[in-house]
Structure 1
Amino acid sequence: MSGYNQSSSIKELIIAIPGAIIGFTLLVSILAYLFGVVGGEKAEPSKEATEAAEQKVVANIQPVATVEVAEASGAHVEKSGEEIVKGVCIACHGVGALGAPKVGDAGDWGPRIAQGYETLVKHAIEGIRSMPARGGNAELTDHEVADAVAYMANQAGAKFDAASLKK
């Protein structure tokens, strides 16, 4: 037989567990007291520190920018198709973004040119697939959009006349 006594092991365990819990609690309490986490008097901040903190808060909540709304301009100055293409359309049609036909690429424009000038203008004004209406510039007139379509399509070999849609 072995010299192992199970009843003395249980007694030792019953004493050891509460002892470990009490010891751990004392250790945490002493450390908390030493580092000032628990209890103790709280020092009132000085008047200067309070004012400095208030000034910092006021500085932090100041607006970082302002918005100035432009006043409505007088008459709309109409732009040429070339100006519109270079200022608006080139953002997508320059690189072929989202399947846009590239300016000057006859392969991209061929099937579209075959649809006819009026259809292309209608798509440009109303928007089609990923292209927003008026190329995303709501200020463009129908005539300006038509001029831009003619300019881009003509760069790819079409012979459209923007004046043909003028009324």
Structure 2
Amino acid sequence: MTEYVVTRWYRAPELLLCCDNYGTSIDVWSVGCIFAELLGRKPIFPGTECLNQLKLIVNVLGTMSEADLEFIDNPKARRYIKSLPYTPGVPLASMYPHAHPLAIDLLQKMLIFDPTKRISVTEALEHPYMSPLYDPSANPPAQVPIDLDIDENISSEMIREMMWEEMLHYHPEVVTAISMS
């Protein structure tokens, strides 16, 4: 119900840098941050505000090459990233010494600064660390983009009513259970 729905700690660099074009790779970044949190039992990038968040990311991933900054379409944001002091980064294996090497490999592919070089959702599911849990026939990717066609001015009460109606469509037995109580 608000435009501000992405928690900063899990926000992809392209969102922090106010880039105009972004896609599903923002979700891969967020899942990577959650995965890191599961591995280390604490958030990987607990920024206090946007610029601090970017500094934390660069401190872990290391200073970006010129090629890694090409996706940044905001000149001011690009200048800011270039102004940060050089850092070699921190190897994720040293941050998570007890993690399985395949888990580290997957995490490294999810937390790539440049979204065009980040692993895709399907590639992540097919990664050797995840592949034993992934059945593409049970969870095929959508063939067309999903259009939710939601009116942004809809009230929260109306959304609750629509969700209730949808639930009753798939579980009509709930009405019987409620009327019997």
Q: TM-score, normalised by structure 2?
A: 0.19
Q: TM-score, normalised by structure 1?
A: 0.20
Larger Rg: 1
Bigger relative contact order, structure 1 or 2 (CA pairs below 8 A, ≥6 apart): 2
